[in-house]
Amino acid sequence: MDTTPQLMMCKLHPPITTKLQGTSTVTDPFPCLTKQHQFRASYGKEIHYQRLALESRKAWVSEDEKRESTEQDDDRNVGLFVNSRMLRIQPSDQLDALEKETLANMQRAGLRDTQFVKSDPADCKRAEKLGWKDKILNFHIPESESTYEAVLDSLAGFVRCSNACAQYQKVAANKGVKFHLGPRQGAVDYLVKVKSDREPTKDKVTGLKTKDGVIHDADAVVVAAGSLGTFKIDKSNSELWDKYSPERFPVMTWKSTPRDTSGKDTGSIYVLPRTPEGLLKIGYRGIKWTNFQPAPQDSPFTQDGQWSVPLPAKECSIIPEPALYAIKQFVSIFLPEFENTPLFSTKLCWYTDSLDNSSVVSIESILIPEIATDLNFNQIDHVPTYAERSVFVCTGGSGHGAKFLPVLGKHAADIFENGDQSSSCMRSFWRWRPDAPRRNGLEEGPGGPRDLSHQ
């Protein structure tokens, strides 16, 4: 859940009331599904996301400066952004095509000096002078004499999502945003609609009803919503505690070339430095699993009469075999101390993905049955099926959202206010786009190989 769009729109139109589904930012002891999320500006050819990430990075740093927190606050879990660096481990002993594109765009942006290629002596010398040489880790390729090529990104690190959600909820509340939280008063039941006088063939949304029976009137409704495993390190084990601290250990990502037992690529894996509690988070980003279930009869968009919804929370602790295989493979190569250690916990992470892996800031939504249209697109725009620009949606984070938290609202508010006249550089990428190519497998629909309900 992102409070930033509500915060920015509060500045434009005070007062504003925000509806949140669930209790995720305030009442839960751990107010976010994940305590950490990697931060990066490395996006290959996607220069627009590189620029947005760099804009966001400045905002994270500025927010921490306002809060007078530093990287030395790790044990107190204070800072929102931790510049632990990121080691992008390549599939082989050579830079792959995506990495070459990333370095080229960093060069064009005048930021090549922030990147350190392991095989480049000049880069290694620069890293040593800056005190970062120990973060350019060396890993042998199994059954080979070679080592994996890698690039250390000094701009990258991770954000503490739990802290960030709580912080921005506080900021928004101080700006006049009113939050309705809880399983009933904070959960949307349906949108309140009337026939539009201006567009007779469409409905206009005049508010929403929450599950506690209360109707909340509104000039416009903004919907902003959107697998991992962990090891736990005992603090008494000072060697591992220090080795995997943010000061000494970078975020690491790896796109594997080995294949699983069925011959398929095992996807990419990442690991973050330990948390102050000693948790070492490993994330698998390979297969995008779905869980198709029958959709309501009046749903404007379905795939064979179904749509994908998250599994119940109690069923999300068991991760699919391909993910477990990939994580174990990753651990054996890059975290050998944990090769024979049971995972401390596992969890499936569900998020609003899109078929073209880009956000939707638009007037349409996929999360509430009454305004569900197409689960394929990331959008931030007005929903065209509702009259008088009465519904606006920010969805389809596709895993991008956390790192952009401080600046998403600025862009969303600009698009909300100005539509096609928006000055946001992201407008063309986040607009309502029904003709965008469906290219990441989610178009397979029910019964496909990624559908957990058919596993």
pLDDT digits (tens, 9 = 90+) for 213-224: 999 998 888 877
Mean pLDDT across the chain:
80
Q: For position 90, what pLDDT does the model report? A: 96
Among the residue ranges 72-86, 148-162, 230-244, the one predicted with the least confidence is 72-86
Give the range with max mean pLDDT: 232-236, 256-260, 378-382: 232-236
Secondary structure of the chain in HEC code, one letter for each residue: CCCHHHHHHHHHCCCEEEECCECCCCCCCCCCCCCEEEECCCCCCCHHHHHHHHHHHHHHHHHHHHCCCCHHHHHHCCCCEECCCEEEECCCCCCCHHHHHHHHHHHHCCCHHHEEECCCHHHHHHHHHCCCHHHCCCCECCCCCCECCEEEECCCEEEEHHHHHHHHHHHHHHCCEEEECECCCCCEEEEEEEECCCCCCCEEEEEEEECCCCEEECCCEEEECCCEEEEECCCCCHHHHHHCCCCCCCEEEEECCCECCCCCECCEEEECCCCCCCEEEEEEECCCCECEEECCCCCCCCECCEEECCCCHHHCCCCCHHHHHHHHHHHHHHCHHHCCCCCCEEECCCCCCCCCCCCEEECCECCCHHHECCCCCCEEEECCCEHHHCEEEEECCCCCHHHHHHHHHHHHHHHHHHHHHCCCCCHHHHCCCCCCCCCCCHHHCCCCCCEHHHC
C-beta of residue 202 within 8 angstroms of C-beta of residue 235: no
- Measured CA to CA, the distance from residue 131 to residue 175 in angstroms comes to 41
Identify the pLDDT of residue 360.
Answer: 54
Task: Give whole-number Cα distances, 24 to 30, 31, 133, 163, 361, in Å.
Answer: 8, 5, 39, 12, 21
Segment 88-124, tens digit of pLDDT? 999 999 999 999 999 999 999 999 999 999 999 999 9
pLDDT score recorded for residue 75: 52
- The pLDDT of residue 76: 59
What is the pLDDT at residue 27?
Answer: 26
Query: In this predicted model, which residue has the larger pLDDT, 267 or 193?
Result: 193
pTM of the full structure: 0.83
**pLDDT single digits (tens) 311-351:** 888 888 888 888 888 899 999 999 999 999 999 988 888 77
Q: Which two tokens stand for residue 416?
A: 């909300």
pLDDT of residue 16: 43
The type of residue at 398 is S
Among 136-140, 149-153, 268-272, 395-399, whose mean pLDDT is lowest?
395-399
Confidence of residue 3 (pLDDT cuts 50, 70, 90): very low
- Looking at residues 181-194, what average pLDDT do you find? 87
Percent with pLDDT over 90 in the chain: 36
pLDDT of 13 strictly over 80:
no
